[in-house]
Amino acid sequence: MSDTEKKVNFVQKSQIDQFLVKFFDFYRYRGMSEKTIERIWFNIRQFPDFIDGKEINKNTIREYVLYCKCQKSKSTNGLGNGKELRTASVNSVISSMKQFVRWLWLEESFLEDDLSGCIKALKRDAFFPTLLTVDEIRAIIHCPLKRDKWHQFLAREYFDFFFELIACTGLRRGEAIGLDVEDLDFDEMVLHVRRAKFDKPRLVPIPQDLCFRLQEWLERRKAKPEEPLFRSFLRNHERIKAATVIDELNRRARFLGIKKRVHLHLFRHCFITELIKSDAPAMKVARIVGHSSINSTLRYTHLVVDDLKGVIESHPLNNRLASNGKITKGSQDFRTN
């Protein structure tokens, strides 16, 4: 069929909504994790409204990606305005759209052609996160922020331990929130990360001092093994919500006057960077933090330059110049009189 003979197939929002329900049911049956399904849903949640009354083709798919890219991301700490989505977030949208349109073509025969190849992932941004210092992390963990009338029902110990745990173990936000009391093995001083990314559970060592204090805290709480480690006080002791922890982190960062973009994943960046700085083997670091590829760990190495300063000073040109900028003895002076 020629391009002029192709039937233009305009779609309705309700039609795409129904396809999305079937799409997610299909991948649940295939064993896809709920976290992955949530990510895909978040990326394409606006697609039904966007495509309403239009045709699904190369142009509209690219327009949707551009529409998502131009949306403002949320700012943190209440500082500054949100910027366009980062390249990693845009690539996540592209990946989700490719998966959905390929499913429409392959499983539903709704599309005549496989349009998943019409959009390519963007080149990744240079990885240079603005890291927190060790003193700033300690200040956040032990922040003397007083409870106001809106937060007086929240015990600060929960947040203190939450921030310290992710700062000292490199856990992801969802992994820490998903911990139950029974996931902590105080005899072996390890925690079982069961709700890990890509459904790959792992064991993570707990620092000895933190382990003892966690054990004492849980004994004071009279915590049951099956209850969440970090629980909510307003939802009948259900698992604490990510928004609650993020709100507390932003309040502490503002109180301390930290002008950097502070977010929970930044604790993980700092943890990995400090391990690399202390010459920890990259393979062991990858096992601790749950990187599926060693390359994900190695990209942190360019953030550490302290060990390179001595190397660059050993270069002959640098070695022959005194600290005051004068030519040292034994070197030839080519300056004219």
Query: What does pTM read for this prediction?
Result: 0.76
CA-CA-CA-CA dihedral for 19, 24, 30, 32, to nearest 10: 150
Radius of gyration (C-alpha) of the chain in whole angstroms: 26
Residue-wise pLDDT for 155-172, tens only, equals 788 899 999 999 999 999
Say whether pLDDT at 266 is over 60.
yes
Q: What is the distance between the alpha carbons of residues 125 and 81, in angstroms, rounded to a whole number? A: 20
- Three-state SS for 204? strand
Instruction: Tell me the pLDDT tens digit for each residue of 83-126.
Output: 677 888 899 999 999 999 999 999 999 998 899 988 888 888 77
Strands in 184-185's sheet, in edge-to-edge order, are 184-185, 190-193, 202-205
Domains detected in the chain: 13-118 (1.10.150), 134-303 (1.10.443.10)
Helix (H) or strand (E) segment spanning residue 167: helix 156-169
